[in-house]
Amino acid sequence: MVFTFSPLSEQALVIETGTNINKESEQAVRKLAAILEKEAPDWLIEFIPAFTTVTVFYDPCRLKQAEVERELHLLIAQLDDVEAPAPRKIEIPVCYGGEFGPDLSFVAEHNGLTEEEVVKIHTSGIYSVHMIGFAPGFPFIGGMSEKIAAPRRKSPRLRIPERTVGIAGMQTGVYPIETPGGWQLIGRTPLRLFIPEQNIPSLLRAGDEIRFTQIDEAEYHEQEAKRDAEHS
Amino acid sequence: MLNIRKGGMQTAVQDLGRTGFQRYGIIASGVMDPFAHRVANLLAGNAETSPTLEIALSGPVIEFEADHFIAICGGDLSPLLDGQPLPMWRGHFVQRGSVLSFGEPKRGARSYLAVAGSFDVPPVMDSHSTYLRAGIGGFEGRALKNGDVLKTLPLPAGRLEALKNQNAQAPDWLIPPVPYHEQPIVRMMPGRQFTLFNEESRSRIFEKTFTVSASSDRMGYRLEGAELALEKQEELISEAVAFGSVQVPADGNPIVLLADRQTTGGYPKIGQVAAVDLPLISQLKPGESLKFRHISVNDAQQLYIEQEQQIRQLKIAIHLKREE
């Protein structure tokens, strides 16, 4: 496996494990993340794994870019001995359309489908979490059918309510907190994906296997009330 | 203890950011102008990592409930102590009952108030930073408002007296000047996707003057001045972004990502602002403008190291002075 290095800034280096999202590049990202977590080298400030990259942040007063690259080569040499953690299975209930999913009609129209068909396709897939990023606990989820793909909005929305489910290109995901963003919004889940009071503050992790299930508005409010009661 | 009589436009507890949780998507937050924050802390006798109050544009009114030693650095928002102009970039002893207020913003957009001993707020995920959008950290996860009481940690016995006696003397250390400017030249490295932009965009980014739009905040500054485009439109694979990454959404207007930036992004990055020049951007107000100038990663790394050395020297100078 060939890794390429390129700077994100004068304090951050991107390790690329491939140029396409596939099993190999993702496994390599997961293994790299596992080894960085385990070894926790003292020059490493923190790291951000993504689809096909792991970005490491370092202090240039301690190590220059070339020295960081050398350290990384030593870690990469151990990669074959590392095992990526096994996937977990998680179900995410979603109330689709209406005020929770204002772009469901756009996604349907863009693909020549009805809204019901979009929901049926979205809930029939088995998805895997490729990465957590962008916002607290935000999962980038792969495995969505091409039939419901839709482009990002030209200009991002300034406000998207928390727990909204969206589509961007071939990807689908859930916004854990209110945030600006360019995704097409199709529904909302009562589940909290960002749990700041926990040690690992994210419900989902890279590698998780998830399914979406459809719930109606009444079930949505019931689950939301139950969740709030558990947390109060 | 500080009584917040008026919260101001956006006054919030910040530190150098929430480090180590970005892999769970947790936004780093922290101060917009790390240099001013660190110097304010050093002048107040705190660790650089201690929380300060980040004060935006229209400042708060704060009554000191006890004797304190403070320093204000950053943008000049016309600080006043009991109605008298209070010099910035140095320490001041303030008596119990004194009132700190702010006049017109003169230069820059953000001031940093450090109080000796620093603020007594609980850390969330190892940081005192307020992450406003998620409602966590700092003072109850939000900006200060009228009637809040912000506690400070007690100082060791005799410490405040020692700082007070030193107050009368002019500081004999040199603070490297920050060229806050209404139209700064900001040094920028080519971004990870620089070569994917068309030739016109690659030259425009370093030639045109960009104006900070009204929809700019701690997350990012949206710039207007030239529309930038990729050679060939494509959806990219999301990857990490950093403080100062300059990304370009499909509408062609660049966005400089700042303290409350997301951890990753899918828009192409045309550039990366050199860390030493980040305060120049963070101190801009909507409507002000900037120009980018090219810098290599090596040179940016060198500038970073030089600035860290300057701060270390300042730290030593302040320490020596106080040991006298």
DSSP B13-61: EE-S---S-GGGT------S-HHHHHHHHHHTT--TTS-EEEEESS--E
What rounded mean pLDDT belongs to chain B? 93
The full 3-state SS of B282-320, as one line of letters, equals HCCCCCCEEEEEECCHHHHHHHHHHHHHHHHHHHHHHHH
Counted across chains A and B, CB pairs separated by less than 8 A come out at 147
> What's the residue count for chain B?
324
Residue type, B293: R
Q: Name the residue among A168, A182, A196 with its Cβ closest to that of B136.
A: A196
Q: Name the residue among B21, B237, B272 with its Cβ closest to that of A8.
A: B272
pLDDT band at B324; cut points 50, 70, 90: low
Task: Answer whether B251 sits within 8 Å of A48, measured CB to CB.
Answer: no
Contacts of B300 in chain A (CB under 8 A): 9-10
Task: Answer whether B240 sits within 8 Å of A8, measured CB to CB.
Answer: yes
Cα separation, A79 vs A86, whole angstroms = 17
Residues A142, A118 contacting (CB under 8 angstroms): no
- Cβ neighbours around B70 below 10 Å, total: 26
The two beta strands, B99-102 and B10-14, are unpaired
Whether the predicted pLDDT of B172 surpasses 70: no
Task: Answer whether B264 sits within 8 Å of A131, measured CB to CB.
Answer: yes
Whose structure tokens read 């109606």?
A216
H-assigned helices in chain B: 34-43, 159-167, 199-207, 278-282, 297-323
Whose structure tokens read 């907190």?
A177
The two beta strands, B68-76 and B10-14, are unpaired
Cα separation, B266 vs B251, whole angstroms = 14
Angle, helix B297-323 to helix A65-76, in steps of 10 degrees: 110
- pLDDT value for B173: 62
Residue B171 in tokens? 């500081």
Q: Identify the closest residue of chain B to A157 by CA–CA distance.
A: B215
Question: Which residues of B103-232 form beta strands (DSSP E)?
Answer: 107-115, 149-150, 185-190, 210-212, 220-224
Task: Answer whether B24 sits within 8 Å of A132, measured CB to CB.
Answer: yes
Task: Answer whether B24 sits within 8 Å of A48, measured CB to CB.
Answer: no
Distance from CA of B170 to the nearest CA of A (A): 31
pLDDT digits (tens, 9 = 90+) for A122-176: 999 999 998 998 889 989 888 899 999 999 988 889 889 999 999 988 889 899 9
Phi first, then psi: give them for residue A31, nearest 5 degrees.
Answer: -70, -40
pLDDT band at B168; cut points 50, 70, 90: very low
Cα separation, B266 vs B278, whole angstroms = 22
Return the closest-CA partner of residue B66 out of B176, B175, B152: B152
Task: Answer whether B21 sits within 8 Å of A156, measured CB to CB.
Answer: no
Task: Answer whether A137 sits within 8 Å of B25, measured CB to CB.
Answer: yes
Strand-pair partners of B129: none
Contacts of A170 in chain B (CB under 8 A): 235
Task: Answer whether B297 sits within 8 Å of A134, measured CB to CB.
Answer: no
Distance from CA of B279 to the nearest CA of A (A): 16
Task: Answer whether B262 sits within 8 Å of A52, measured CB to CB.
Answer: no
In percent, the amount of chain A with pLDDT more than 70 equals: 99
Whose structure tokens read 């926990």?
A198
Cα separation, B206 vs B185, whole angstroms = 10
Task: Answer whether B235 sits within 8 Å of A9, measured CB to CB.
Answer: no
Strand-pair partners of A69: none
Residue A187 in tokens? 């529904």
Cα separation, A17 vs A21, whole angstroms = 10
Residues A177, A153 contacting (CB under 8 angstroms): no
Residues A215, A142 contacting (CB under 8 angstroms): no
| pLDDT (mean) for B196-216 | 96
ipTM comes to 0.94
pLDDT band at B57; cut points 50, 70, 90: very high
Residues B164, B69 contacting (CB under 8 angstroms): yes
Angle, helix A65-76 to helix A23-39, in steps of 10 degrees: 100
Mutate to test the interface with A, among B24, B251, B277 (most CBs of A within 10 A): B24
Contacts of B136 in chain A (CB under 8 A): 196
Strand-pair partners of B210: B290
Mutate to test the interface with A, among B239, B245, B296 (most CBs of A within 10 A): B239
Cα separation, B299 vs B269, whole angstroms = 20
- pLDDT value for A232: 59
Distance from CA of B130 to the nearest CA of A (A): 13
Distance from CA of B178 to the nearest CA of A (A): 20
Higher pLDDT, A189 or B215: A189
Return the closest-CA partner of residue A50 out of A25, A82, A71: A25
Residue B306 in tokens? 């030089």
| pLDDT (mean) for B209-236 | 94
The full 3-state SS of chain A, as one line of letters, equals CCCEEEEEECCEEEEECCCCCCHHHHHHHHHHHHHHHHHCCCCEEEEEECCCEEEEEECCCCCCHHHHHHHHHHHHCCHHHCCCCCCCEEEEEEEECCCCCCCHHHHHHHCCCCHHHHHHHHHHCCEEEEEECCCCCCEEEECCCHHHCECCCCCCEEEECCCEEEEEECEEEEECCCEEECCEEEEECCCCCECCCCCCCECCCCCCEEEEEECCHHHHHHHHHHHHHHHC
Residues B102, B121 contacting (CB under 8 angstroms): no
Whether the predicted pLDDT of B167 surpasses 80: no
Task: Answer whether A155 sits within 8 Å of B26, measured CB to CB.
Answer: no
Return the closest-CA partner of residue B206 out of B222, B186, B221: B186
Task: Answer whether B304 sits within 8 Å of A65, measured CB to CB.
Answer: no
Task: Answer whether B308 sits within 8 Å of A9, measured CB to CB.
Answer: no
In percent, the amount of chain B with pLDDT more than 90 equals: 83
Contacts of B308 in chain A (CB under 8 A): 61
Q: Name the residue among B124, B240, B275 with its Cβ closest to that of A53.
A: B240
Contacts of A48 in chain B (CB under 8 A): 22-23, 240, 263-264
Cα separation, B303 vs A132, whole angstroms = 33
Q: Residue B203, SS3?
A: helix
Task: Answer whether B134 sits within 8 Å of A65, measured CB to CB.
Answer: no
pLDDT band at A207; cut points 50, 70, 90: confident
| pLDDT (mean) for B91-101 | 95
Q: Identify the closest residue of chain A to B131 by CA–CA distance.
A: A136
pLDDT digits (tens, 9 = 90+) for A84-136: 777 899 999 999 999 999 999 999 999 999 999 999 999 999 999 989 988 89
Mutate to test the interface with A, among B264, B276, B301, B310 (most CBs of A within 10 A): B264
Contacts of B228 in chain A (CB under 8 A): none
The model carries a pTM of 0.89
Q: Identify the closest residue of chain B to A182 by CA–CA distance.
A: B249
Return the closest-CA partner of residue A15 out of A4, A25, A29: A4
Contacts of A50 in chain B (CB under 8 A): 237-240, 264
Question: Which residues of B39-184 form beta strands (DSSP E)?
Answer: 52-56, 61-64, 68-76, 79-81, 84-85, 91-94, 99-102, 107-115, 149-150
